[in-house]
Chain A
């Protein structure tokens, strides 16, 4: 039996299936998509919420869109983590010695990442709803918000890809992910409004795409302004891809030499 070569798209889906099936055996990763955001949401709302916003309900309304964005950033780490695992274990070589489209392994990772991202977003919004969060915008607002977060995730995955290509082993990908992402996500308006911060910090916070995307998400879910923020977010996404995609591919070629 001679089989026809599978198309790159089919291969991408097969490899995405692989990343998702793997989750069953990696409770830590699944935890990062599921329990960690739940924990953050519960802790911040019920422990700090009253102090920050006066009431836990008000804080939930403010913070839920932001924590969706923050969580999205952390989930992207696994794109680089998985890629690095394949590079260091020799699995990537196995794929390269097969008639598999050159771009399919990366595309498979990123596709799987989007599924995981969607899962996390639904989980957080569902829990938020149970805790009392109510949308004040029509359904298209919700859909646009999810779409916008996914688009940014897609772009930011390329940063993770670069780290995954450069890092010596998967642990270093994690280490980088956490040391770099904590400041990036905390120095933003995810948890507290920017007005409460010192002036010099406000500039930094407002320039942070995490803040911009969080504002856009709030607008889309709560019926506030969003168009400008969504536009800036998309510009960031394009910029990140323009810089990190070529850089990642260059680094990958170097590593595979």
Chain B
């Protein structure tokens, strides 16, 4: 018995000339949530596909629930649930029929499968739409049904590949709550995401993946602490002052601030920086609409680690000063 629900050593997968996965090690303890964070094409999906027995690794090995994903694939399959990137439910069946079919495929009796389907639909707030074809479902409903479909066999281990991609914030939050409930009930979860908020909200441990490699690992807080910096954010009241402010910030910090609309942000380590900046801008008679010093977001962690941006859904919340 391994102490981990999911464990992988040295996974490699090559597609043509690209190494989609290039020597990945990971371990997830039972009941924990691991987030794979990385941009599109980083290899996150391939890792999930290997662990969910859909793709064979070229080298390396992995066990899920103490079974090898290659040689004991069927044992693995009966212990996992998978929610893929595209809600893979049948559009031409009703929500109820979708879940019934999966129950039957898993060997449940007709009665159990029906009962299980109704229970899941109610729990996922789909009872009202249960007997309508999935074709007419909204994106959020479809994802909830997809997640419900992954749970028909009551798996202890759940793989969620970008579970909320393409959902509006409300539907996303709703799905997060559902995932949170599953975790509270003891399900082990491995999820991939491009969204920092998502990794931050759901995952206890994070692997940052880029070009098929793990480039950083730790809890969200550890990762934020790792680049150690806080960020200074400044927005002049008048857009015409942006250039001047940018110059001042460069002088004070030694690095070029990043510009998003009228807002400038720059890593800031020196605690005296804030007062120095205020003084300088005061001398120049530049009024500020916004000024804050905040700890790094995962986005910045990622940027610092890879020199690349992770797609971020919403801007950071505005703080007026």
Contact = CB atoms under 8 A, between A and B. Distances in A.
A168 B241 CA distance: 53
Contact of A3 (B55, B80, B108, B135): B108
A24 B135 CA distance: 13
A97 B77 contact: yes
A123 to B, nearest CB: 22
B284 interface: no
A165 B107 CA distance: 28
Contacts of A26: 92
Interface stretch (A4-12, A150-158, A206-214): A4-12
- Chain B: number of interface residues, binned into ranges: 35 or more
B210 interface: no
A98 B54 contact: no
B105 A4 contact: no
B32 to A, nearest CB: 21
A14 B133 CA distance: 18
Interface stretch (B96-104, B217-225, B228-236): B96-104
Q: Does more than half of chain A's interface fall in helix, strand or loop, or is it mixed?
A: helix
Interface string B88-115: 1111110001000110111111001000
> Max chain B CB contacts within 10 Å: which of A4, A24, A99?
A99
A90 interface: yes
B77 to A, nearest CB: 4
Nearest to A100: B105
Interface string A80-98: 0000000001110111111
Given A3-B107, A98-B106, A25 B53 contact: no
A201 interface: no
Contact of B88 (A14, A89, A100): A89
A98 B102 contact: yes
Given A94-B82, A257-B55, A6 B90 contact: no
A146 interface: no
Contacts of B101: 14-15, 17-18
Contact of B93 (A4, A22, A89, A90): A22
A18 B84 contact: no
Given A25-B135, A26-B92, A97 B82 contact: yes
Contacts of B49: 93
B123 to A, nearest CB: 16
B85 interface: yes
